[in-house]
Structures are given as structure tokens and as C-alpha cells.
Chain A
Amino acid sequence: MVRYGFVIDLTRCISCYSCVAACTIENLDPSLWDDSDKRRIRLRGGEDGVYPPRIEIGEYPNVMRIVLPMPCFHCENPPCVKVCPVGATYKRDDGVVIVEQEKCIGCGYCIVACPYGSRFRNHTTGTVDKCNLCIHRIEAGEEPACVETCVGGALHLVDFDNPNDKYIREAFRRRAFKVECELGTQPAVYYIPSR
């Protein structure tokens, strides 16, 4: 059994947005490319070119501001799945949370329920869109577009059921953190802190 997720090494992320560009070109209709609200992966904290970024990490005096590459967290306990009225979004056995486009009615309830802002309305299809971990590429033996294109080698696709995965071991060694919230979502994305 596999359980996919990401390990993102923030020491290697240079905020170049190449993951965002690669994902958008790979997955979205060209009519959406100009709309920065419609993205399957985002760089949170650095929206609109704001500098320094808004997300604070650490405790005084060791505080710094970071940009956080945020794909869908493919949570263990995804609040978006519970609220879908027609069962169009669900968690697969391999841990990937997907939206079946032909079943989605576009009500947007999952967008409202997701605490991480990982979903958006795709107005070309009239349905809800989100990161599906480029499952079509994984099934073809390739890496997700964002991972493949990452300039600094910060993004890594991992299998959390494989304890020997070198990036998982690295994540634990370097005290990686998750963006957990009070909902107990248990995200499947770990961040290796900048320092």
C-alpha cells in the first residue's frame, strides 16, 4: 500500500513560482492561466509580490517570515470530503484527495470547508478544482509537474507508508512541521524549516 504526500524543504525553496507555473500549464485550461486566484498550488505568504512574506514561523527571538508552497494537503481527515453533497470528492486508498469533475455540481461547499484555501471554482468546467497530485503522471511513472520542475529541489513526492523513504527520514531528522489547524485535519505535507 502507498500513501502519497509531500515533503517540502524550505531551505531549498527560492520562491521562484516555477512549481505554480508548471502545475498551471500541466493541469489548467489556458483561459485560466492569467487568473492568479485559480491555482492548484500556491505560494502562501507571498501573494501579490508582497515582501517580506506574511507567514511567521518560530518564537521570539528566532522568528522569521517565510513563503510556503502550498499544494492540497491531502489530509488524513479531510473536511472537504465530509461536506460534499454528491460524493464527488473523496480520498483514494493511496491518500490522494480528488474531485471527480463529471460528478461535481460546483456548489463550492468544499471550498468553504477547506481551511487551507486549496480549492477553487474552475469556471471553464463549472466545477471545483484542486491539486490531485498529478495522479495521471504518477500512474504513468512520472513525478508531479511541480516536483519535476522545482528549481531548488525543494518539493519531494513521498510515500508515508515507506519508512525507508530518504525524504521522510530527512524530514523527521530536521524536525519538519505540518500546518495543522484546530480541525484536526492531519495534512500529508511536511515542511522542513528554513533553519
Chain B
Amino acid sequence: MMVYHVPWGIEVAIFLWFAAMAGMGEVIIALIDKHDIKKSVLKHYSGFILIFSILALIFILSDLPLFIGALPRIISAFLEGRFNLASWMSIGMILLSLEILIASIDVIKYRRLSKWISLIASKESFRIISIVIGGLVTLYSGFLLSVSSIPIWTISPLPILWIFSGALAAIALLDILLWLSGEENPIYFTLRLKFSFGIIVGIIIFMALHISASSRSMSAKESAHMLLYGDLGALFWIGFSLLGLILPTIVDGIQIFSGKSVKEMSLVSSLLYILGALMLRILIIYAGVPYWKFMVI
């Protein structure tokens, strides 16, 4: 398979996936907190969000050849006033740390590990902070790519795509937990959300590829061509479009329009959405073609 060597690889794609699910999961848990959802589901869901947040941090650190050795350098940059708050990388480090903190508070709250932390977490202001931080974590994962010299990573719909695709995967995870907990008939909640968000993701993908293919940049065009009918075409059409988006949307649509939800069908569609979100990120990363590959003088 011919792909252009971009400096970031699969570990960054996995990081983006975890960050999106952690961020949008945080938003969802804050939004549904007051709703009539089984506490056991929220207990497990908050656990997953914390794990995803930590894994996001581990995967972004794994991209650093120094790994843990980078930490003293980051601390010394802080102490010497060199820490660049205008860089998305720095903003991300702060947001991910806050996300881990908030997710930990959620875990403590839903597992009733500490009374006073549960009290803090029950406040309206904590819910608002959770929504803001969760949303920013997901948005940041889009903006992180936006300052690159790789044109397809800089197209404007990407942060929005990350938001909706992350939300879709987070809702799909909630759907799985709801079904496994024995919650009855979640059709009017997660199923409809998954179906709507699936369609929105499809529309944004179409927009993103259209913008990329019709761009003046040769590198952006090449990226779109790689995805649509190039070396990444099979993965894009079969791996992401068909299995990760179209098939689960059809499965959910059938359930919604027939008015009957089937546990197995819903579980499969949710799993496919989650894997589709990962596939999307891998494809976008590997479809990157650096500006200098098609330099025009």
C-alpha cells in the first residue's frame, strides 16, 4: 500500500479516537446525569470515560520517543515560563489532564467512594464544567491537526467531524451498556441519536472530501483521491463507509421505522459505529500528504 510518510502514525489516530470518546462521553454523562438512567450504567460508563482519558494520554505520550523522559522537560518549561499556551499541543496537555480529573470525580461520584466529592460532582456548575471540558477535548483533537502543513488535516469540517463522530461513538458505547444492563427499550433515546448522528457524520465526510478534492492544493487533492479510489480506497469504502457507517445506520433505521428494537442488532450497530470512528481517524491520518510533496514554484 502506498501512503505518504507523514510524521504521525497509528498511535496518534488511536489517541484521537480515545480523546473523542472520552470528551464526548463526558458531555453525555453530564447531560444524562439528571435523567432516569440506571446508576449501574453510569457507574460503568464513567469508568470507561476515565480509562479512555488515561489511554488518550498514554497514546499521545507513546508518540514521544522520550516517553516519560519528556515529563521533566515539560515541567521545566512550566517553571521557566517557556510553556507555550498558544500551541494546541500545550492546550491539549492541559485539557487532557483536566479531563482525567473530571472523569475521576465522576467515577468517585457514581461509585460512592467519597461523600464530599460526590457533593461537588452533584453541583450544576460541575456539570457545566464537564460539558465544556469534554467538548473542548474533542474539539482540540481536531484543531491539533489544523495547524499542520498537511492540507487534508487542515480542512475546516474536521473539528466538527471529530465532534459528531466522537459523539456517535460515545452514544454507541452508552447504548451497549444500556442493553447489557437489561434496560428496556432504549429505542427513543440512544437508537434515534445514533441514527441521526450517523447521517450527520456521513454528510460531514462528504463535505470534507468535496472540499479536499476541489482544493487548489495538489496535496489535498491527492489525499482525497487516495481515499476515494486510491490505495486507501478499499479501507475507506468497505472498512469505514460500509461497515463503520452505512450498515449500522441502516440497521438502526430499520429498528426505528419498524418501531421494534432488537438487542443483537443494536449491539452490532453500536460496535460498528465505535470501530468506524477509529477507522475514520486512521484513514484521515494516513491520507495525509505533506505540502512539500507537490511543491509548485
Interface on A for B, CB 8 Å cutoff? 37, 44, 55-57, 68, 79, 82-88, 102-109, 111-117, 121, 123, 126-127, 177, 179, 181, 183
CB B84 to nearest CB in A, in angstroms, measures 5
Contacts of B179 in A (CB 8 A): none
Question: Which of under 10, 10 to 19, 20 to 34, or 35 or more describes the interface residues of B?
Answer: 35 or more
**Mask for B3-42, Cβ within 8 A of A = 1, else 0?**
0011110000000000000000000000000000000000
Asked if B292 and A121 make an inter-chain contact with CB atoms under 8 angstroms apart, the answer reads: no
CA of A55 to CA of B296, assembled, Å: 7
Chain B, residue nearest A191 (CB): B297
The reply on B191 being an interface residue by CB < 8 A is no
**Mask for B270-297, Cβ within 8 A of A = 1, else 0?**
0000000000000000000011100111
Question: Contact partner of B88 among A68, A83, A88, CB < 8 A?
Answer: A83
CA of A126 to CA of B68, assembled, Å: 12
CA of A56 to CA of B76, assembled, Å: 46
The reply on B89 being an interface residue by CB < 8 A is yes
Asked if A86 and B84 make an inter-chain contact with CB atoms under 8 angstroms apart, the answer reads: yes
**5 further A-B pairs in the complex, CB-CB below 8 A; given A84-B84, A105-B64, A116-B291:** A79-B149, A112-B150, A113-B147, A115-B149, A116-B149
Contacts A106-B66, A112-B8, A121-B65; A83 near B89 (Cβ below 8 A):
yes
Interface centre among A105, A114, A179 (most CB of B within 10 A): A105
Asked if A55 and B297 make an inter-chain contact with CB atoms under 8 angstroms apart, the answer reads: yes
The reply on B2 being an interface residue by CB < 8 A is no
Contacts of B64 in A (CB 8 A): 105-107, 126
Asked if B291 and A103 make an inter-chain contact with CB atoms under 8 angstroms apart, the answer reads: no
Asked if A105 and B147 make an inter-chain contact with CB atoms under 8 angstroms apart, the answer reads: no
Asked if A87 and B7 make an inter-chain contact with CB atoms under 8 angstroms apart, the answer reads: no
CB B62 to nearest CB in A, in angstroms, measures 11
Contacts of A126 in B (CB 8 A): 64-66, 69
Asked if B77 and A106 make an inter-chain contact with CB atoms under 8 angstroms apart, the answer reads: no
CA of A87 to CA of B77, assembled, Å: 7
Contacts A121-B7, A177-B297, A181-B291; A108 near B63 (Cβ below 8 A):
yes
Asked if B89 and A106 make an inter-chain contact with CB atoms under 8 angstroms apart, the answer reads: no
Contacts A108-B8, A111-B7, A112-B7; A103 near B296 (Cβ below 8 A):
no
Asked if A86 and B150 make an inter-chain contact with CB atoms under 8 angstroms apart, the answer reads: no
Chain B, residue nearest A70 (CB): B292
Question: Contact partner of B82 among A103, A113, A116, CB < 8 A?
Answer: A103
CA of A81 to CA of B17, assembled, Å: 27
Asked if B149 and A112 make an inter-chain contact with CB atoms under 8 angstroms apart, the answer reads: yes
Chain A, residue nearest B72 (CB): A105
CA of A105 to CA of B153, assembled, Å: 23
